Amino acid sequence: MDDRPDFTQILTWNDGPESHYIGNIWPEQDNTTEMRRYANDDAPHKAIQPILSSFITAFKSGASSQEMAPPGNARAAGSLWFKPILANTSCPQDNDLHSGKPDGYEVAVDVSSWAVVVSDNGGNMTLHGFSDGEEIGSADLVAGLNFGNFSAMREGPQCMEVRSEHGGLVAVAKGGRNVTSDCPDGIYNLNPQILQLVSDDSVGGCASSKSSSSDDDDDDSGSVLAVMLDRYVFWTALLASLASVTGVVGL
């Protein structure tokens, strides 16, 4: 359109404290403390902000997704997100509203999703995804918006790194909660963990991210290429996952 928007507003409200969930988590709530079982400091969503900032800047200027740029002077910015439990997780059933499986749980799949915005002068770079210390996928990055998922997620820490054409570490997304099948929250918590790419050599790469309980002989992940998603599906899924956390966990 000829008239560019003066501002871009992202609506994520469902229940407090979710209306602020792309930023801080505030203590207001809807006469229940159940939301704090999943919407808490163990699952911050601030790591999505660099992607949203890049999108907002491009949208307001009429730029395409290929023209999106990382905030500041970064070579790459992005996030990795995933649900903290596997699809085969079994949680206690006590006939409580919050303990049952949410509607649609039968289609849950064990994947980690990612989005990375690359500078047009960042050079040739490759994205690598890891699950419990084992590489499960890779993708060559291009300038602008890149996105996809890794379809072999398993229990343990999840990690994503960007490396230069010479193999040097450019940025890494790691930390957060380990994926598990033990139902640690007592509910089918699908509120995603979101990890931000950071350019910090002291953090190290992904190869060292492995749980102590892993069996080195039990590696069925293989090398799975990232599955590229339709752009409309990507943005719909991203905003829906942040806007509808309450519905996802069955509250």
Q: What is the pLDDT of residues 47-87, one digit of tens each?
A: 999 999 999 999 988 899 999 999 998 999 999 999 999 99
CB 164 within 8 Å of CB 170: yes
Mean pLDDT confidence for 147-153: 94
Whether the CB-CB separation of 79 and 53 falls below 8 Å is answered with no
How confident is the model over 163-199, as pLDDT tens digits?
A: 999 999 999 999 999 999 999 998 898 889 999 999 9
In order of 44, 79, 223, the CA distances from 230 in angstroms are 26, 18, 22
Global pTM exceeds 0.75: yes
Sign, Cα dihedral of 64, 67, 71, 77 = positive
Of 209 and 207, the one with more pLDDT:
207
Alpha helices (H) in the chain, listed in sequence order: 49-61, 231-243, 245-248
For the 46-203 domain, the top CATH level (class) is mainly beta
Least confidently predicted of 140-144, 163-167, 208-212: 208-212
Q: For the chain, percent helix, then strand, then coil, each to nearest 5?
A: 20, 25, 55
Judged by average pLDDT, the poorest of 150-154, 208-212, 221-225, 240-244 is 221-225
Q: Which of the two residues, 4 and 106, has the higher pLDDT score?
A: 106
